Structure 1
Amino acid sequence: MTKRDGLEGYYLEDLEVGMEGSYAKTVTETDIILFAGVSGDSNPVHLNEEFAKTTMFEGRIAHGMLSAGFISTVLGTRLPGPGTIYLSQNLQFRAPVRIGDTVTATVKVREIIAAKKRIILDTTCTVGDRVVISGEATVMVPARG
């Protein structure tokens, strides 16, 4: 990592294929309620245990986009870090996340497109050994001078 304007992160020139960064967070009841309020997604599968018990999940689950947001945390704070601009993301939601689960978001540099100051990363969210989200992101990364 290098210092960029007092913040730690990577310039485009510092990145190499295979580099990884991650962030872990235990999902709480408060996280789900706050996310519902901020996003407007009040689907009862997230907020109402009695309703959620009648679904295929047999109980409440966290919003998929809450967990996907942890990928953004990695990109903007760890790898590549501050100044990174999210250009695109695709996601496959593979398994539910429940209150008390610790989600680990990991990004891995797959391709560097130096001429466009872009990188393509594999993105994954896991709970233990179980993949809950997989996908790919494209971001623009600051370059030196």
Structure 2
Amino acid sequence: MRIMGLDLGEKRIGVALSDPMGWTAQAHSVLQRGNNSCRVIADLCAEYDVEGIVLGWPLNMNGTAGPKAAEAEDFARQLTECTGLKVELQDERLTTKTAERVLLQADVSRKKRRQVIDKMAAAYILQVYLDSHKDHKGMI
């Protein structure tokens, strides 16, 4: 039961994949966001036998949905149409900051951080999802 996690940004999309058992998330790649993003994600889903997608949902700090959350909801609908897979939204508040803090503690250079921050945030989003659904088999 492999699940894909995505961190949707303005220019890039961070990608993470779970292990085949759906227990742990690993950072995978960073895609440039563009017109063919859904197709590239669909190809990755087919290549890795992904059964579902978790997309970061950027809620405001007070828990309300603003323009960025609406954009993620629209992208989730596009992904469902393109991949045929269920897409669930996962609260992603502070995930990029958390990933950045981990990379700073690991003394990763600024240039390297810029290259990996999006996929690290995707892995964090996916791991939070996996941990909150560990008693369930498959996506809810």
Q: Could you say whether these structures have the same fold, taking a TM-score greater than 0.5 normalized by the shorter chain as the test?
A: no
Give the number of the structure whose residues are more often helix, by fraction.
2
Say which structure, 1 or 2, has more relative contact order (CA 8 Å, 6+ apart): 2
Structure with the greater alpha carbon radius of gyration: 1
User: What is the TM-score normalised by the length of structure 1?
Assistant: 0.26
Give the number of the structure whose residues are more often strand, by fraction.
1
